[in-house]
Amino acid sequence: MIEYEGTVYRPPSEARSLIIQVTLGCRHGKCTFCGSYLEKPFRIRNLEEIRADLEDAARHLGPVIRVFLADGDALCIPQKRLVEILESVNELLPSVERIGIYANAHDILGKSLDELQHLRSLKLGIIYLGVETGDEELLVKIKKGATYQQMVQAARRVKESGISLSVTVLLGIGGIEGSRNHAKDTARILTDMDPDYVGALSVMLVPGTDLHRDYMQGRFKLPDPFGLIEELRTMIAESSFSNCVFRSNHASNYLPVKATLPEGKQAILAAIDRVLAVRDSRALRPEFLRAL
């Protein structure tokens, strides 16, 4: 069977997908909070390696419905090679209905609308974009490598291409002092992007990252669990969507929620308010169950 190199990360919604590593590590690799790929120098795997994994899956698995292309920044692969990879997926796993991939804003903006539409024709059905925050100063501080406007431009290009867009935001990344601005500005960027899906994750302090060093040296103070939930409430309350599935069901979160917005907004806000009114830690995910 397929042997993966290092730890493999995928979105919660890809839990039942076949994961194929088309890159190793993350090309950007500068985000201050991220320790996911510290042990992996970035490289694009050659097509022969990728096809070998696909052939192995075809031999040993039943019909594969979804494929997720890992690791980070996989959309940075040059268009010609990426097309070859998607064609190989379709050739060797003809039952596949949707292919997903991680991207950053520069990956997306490096593809023309025509190129994205070509990828969609080859069953690239969803792009996962890490936004983290709409606070422009904080985007620079955490070294995301993209501005507010670039994030929005990238989101709109994906949506125009017909590919579904899922964005992630990061509860707590502004620390205690920046919590309010982070939450309000993130609601604003989500409104401007109008994605199909939003996943709210919570900051996990990973040894070896810049953020962990700032925490250990007293330069970063993480909001308590209820402070993170207050951020979640603000992001939901102050954002506006056409039709969006908003989740905070990642293993890092203290309070898993799921709602379709806008119709489910009032019900989910009421549920969050009940938790905030009581502030009973027994209603939250225990610390030992939280994970990246």
Tens of pLDDT, residue by residue over 69-123, are 999 999 999 999 999 999 999 999 999 999 999 999 999 999 999 999 999 999 9
Structure confidence at residue 68 (pLDDT): 98
Lookup: tokens for 223: 């909001």
CA 278 to CA 275: how far, in whole Å? 6
Question: What value does the mean pLDDT take over residues 147-168?
Answer: 98
Lookup: tokens for 23: 């890159």
For residue range 189-239, list pLDDT tens digits in order.
999 999 999 999 999 999 999 999 999 999 999 999 999 999 999 999 999
Lookup: tokens for 134: 């709409």
For residue range 6-19, list pLDDT tens digits in order.
889 999 899 999 99
Residue 219 CB neighbour total at 10 angstroms: 11
Residues 6+ apart with CB under 8 A from 233: 269, 272, 273, 276
- Tell me how many degrees the CA angle 1-91-18 measures, rounded to the nearest 5: 40
From residue 66, give the alpha-carbon distance in Å to each of 7, 132, 161.
Answer: 20, 26, 20
pLDDT exceeds cutoff 80 at 1: no
List of domains in the chain = 14-278 (3.20.20.70)
CA 134 to CA 118: how far, in whole Å? 30
Say if residues 135 and 104 touch (Cβ distance below 8 Å). Answer: no
Residues 6+ apart with CB under 8 A from 264: none
From residue 75, give the alpha-carbon distance in Å to each of 35, 78, 253.
Answer: 20, 8, 27
Among the listed residues 12, 1, 2, 277, the one whose alpha carbon sits nearest the alpha carbon of residue 168: 12
From residue 89, give the alpha-carbon distance in Å to each of 24, 107, 247.
Answer: 18, 21, 29
Residue 134 CB neighbour total at 10 angstroms: 26
